[in-house]
Amino acid sequence: MSGKHTGFTHGFAATEHDTRGALAEIMMRLRIIGVPDEQAGGVEIAVTEAVNNIVEHAYRDVDRGSIMIRAGVTGNVLRVLLVDEGAELPGAELPAGRPANIDTALDDLPEGGFGWFMIRTLTRDIRYRRWRGRNHLRLQFDLIPTVG
């Protein structure tokens, strides 16, 4: 398998409901193309947060948007590309994704703002480009080869 490229493309409606089924399907296909079980959890968190951001922010004012995900494994690298036709990221830039401040009183603990930080922590590389009216978010993960 090493060195070979395997991949898939999956498109779905950007609603909370369709997203859940699509993510289950995508996780199944990621395992088939070689993402080991031990790493699937981290990949699932990062991809889910990226999809949530598209549904909640890029398509905030759109009833029926769509998301296209293309994933591929080459050697020990997993690349996941997410494409949507929603609003551009603010300032056309990736958010800094700073960790949420949790050194606060109980009442001030954050209930959100964890997403980009987790995406940045779980990926090796992340790129964003606005191109022809679409957002292209590219996540790259290192896969640790399993023995045997």
Partner 1 sequence: MSLTSTATDTAKIITVNAARIDAVMAIQFKDDMREQAGDGPARVILDLSAVEFIDSSGLGAIVAAMKQLGSERKLDLAGLTPSVEKVFRLTRMDTVFNLFGSLDDAISTEAADPSE
Q: What residues pair up with 11 in beta bridges, in sequence order? A: 68
Which tokens is 12 given?
A: 């779905």
By CB under 8 A, residue 75 contacts partner 1: no
In the complex with partner 1, which residue's Cβ is closer, 1 or 144? 144
What's the CA gap between 128 and 33, in Å, rounded? 24
Of 65, 68, 62, the residue nearest 136 (C-alpha): 68
Q: Are 136 and 83 in contact (CB under 8 A)?
A: yes
Tell the smallest beta-carbon distance from residue 71 to partner 1 (Å): 18
Tell the smallest beta-carbon distance from residue 121 to partner 1 (Å): 6
Residue 36: φ, ψ to 5°: -65, 150
**Please, which of residues 82-111 interact with partner 1 by CB under 8 A?**
99-100, 102, 106-107, 109-111
In the complex with partner 1, which residue's Cβ is closer, 52 or 140? 52
Q: Which of 11, 36, 41, 145 contacts partner 1 by CB under 8 A? A: 41
Answer left, alpha or beta for residue 117, where phi above 0 means left and psi between -120 and 50 means alpha: alpha
Which tokens is 82 given?
A: 């997410």
By CB under 8 A, residue 121 contacts partner 1: yes
In the complex with partner 1, which residue's Cβ is closer, 55 or 137? 55
**What is the Rg, in whole angstroms, of the alpha carbon atoms belonging to the chain?**
16
| Total number of residues that touch partner 1 (CB under 8 A) | 29
Name the site residues for partner 1 (rule: CB under 8 A): 16-17, 19-20, 41-42, 44-45, 48-49, 52, 55-56, 99-100, 102, 106-107, 109-115, 117-118, 121-122
